[in-house]
Amino acid sequence: MTRPTFSLCVYCGSRPGTDSAYEQAAIAVGQWIARQGGQLVYGGGSGGLMGTVANAALEAGARVVGIIPKALVEKEWAHRGCTELHIVDNMHDRKRMMAERADAFLALPGGIGTFEELFEVWTWRQLGYHDKPIGLLNTAGYYDGLLKFLQTAVKNQFMGDWQMGLIRHGSNLSELLAELIRHAGTSATNNMDQI
Ligand code: AMP
């Protein structure tokens, strides 16, 4: 297999959610990564949207790197079909390794685990631990409420526009992904060892 052109770290739900649009988006992301010759980096689970994006990427011929803490191997049904499956000591190691292996990040619909991962990588970016692009795919308006609230935070000056600008968001998957990958190559800062 040739070397992947990029690694995209995808954060998403360990459940499928109610709207089939979420699953369709996860499939489309996996297939898009494969079509572009890229590699998926994700949390290594086989359930929910996590399993869906991994299976779609694998079936379409992409490399898939799964990274899961040992305590979650059973709980999240570690995906044994990953090209690389890393079983790490704890959640912190998982998230650091996912971030290190990625050229860009994308959050799909998900729950608190997804929110936490998105916000963490966003705060790491504002602090200068990395300068990799971050995307939020707003499938079927799932994140409308969150985006509205973030504007409330900007209006109340707990956040600046520049911080909001560190996240690219939209509902058009191929446009958003193309934009992330376009900016992924320019990443020069890597202070992840300071986390
Ligand atoms: P969820 O969005 O809640 O379905 O979780 C998606 C993924 O985020 C799962 O693989 C969780 O293990 C992971 N995750 C990452 N950080 C956390 C955290 N602090 N608490 C819970 N789940 C987390």
Per the prediction, the chain carries an average pLDDT of 95
Confidence at 190, pLDDT banded by 50, 70, 90 = confident
Average pLDDT of the segment spanning 141-150: 98
Task: Output the pLDDT for position 187.
Answer: 62
Question: Which two structure tokens, joined as six digits, stand for 25?
Answer: 């988006």
* Residue 8 CA to ligand 1 centre (angstroms): 18
d(CA 2, ligand 1 centre) in Å: 31
Write out pLDDT tens, residues 11-30: 999 999 999 999 999 999 99
At 35, the pLDDT band (50, 70, 90 cuts) reads: very high
The 10s digit of each residue's pLDDT in 86-134 is 999 999 999 999 999 999 999 999 999 999 999 999 999 999 999 999 9
- The SS3 call for residue 156 is coil
Nearest CA to ligand 1 atom 14: 113
Any ligand 1 atom below 6 A from CB of 13: yes
Altogether, the residues listed in the chain come to a count of 195
pLDDT of residue 188: 64
Separation CA 66–CA 54 (nearest Å): 9
pLDDT of residue 61: 98
pLDDT at 163 over 70: yes
Residue with tokens 């608190």: 112
Tokens of 164: 């909001």
Res 189 pLDDT > 80? no
| CATH class (in words) of the domain with range 7-186 | alpha beta
The residue whose CA has the least distance to atom 10 of ligand 1 is 43
Global pTM value: 0.95
- Residue 72 makes CB contacts below 8 A (sequence gap 6+) with 45, 78
- Answer yes or no: is the C-beta of 140 below 6 A from any ligand 1 atom: no
Find the mean pLDDT for residues 58-62: 98
Gap between the Cα atoms of 149 and 189, Å rounded: 29
Domain boundary assignment for the chain: 7-186
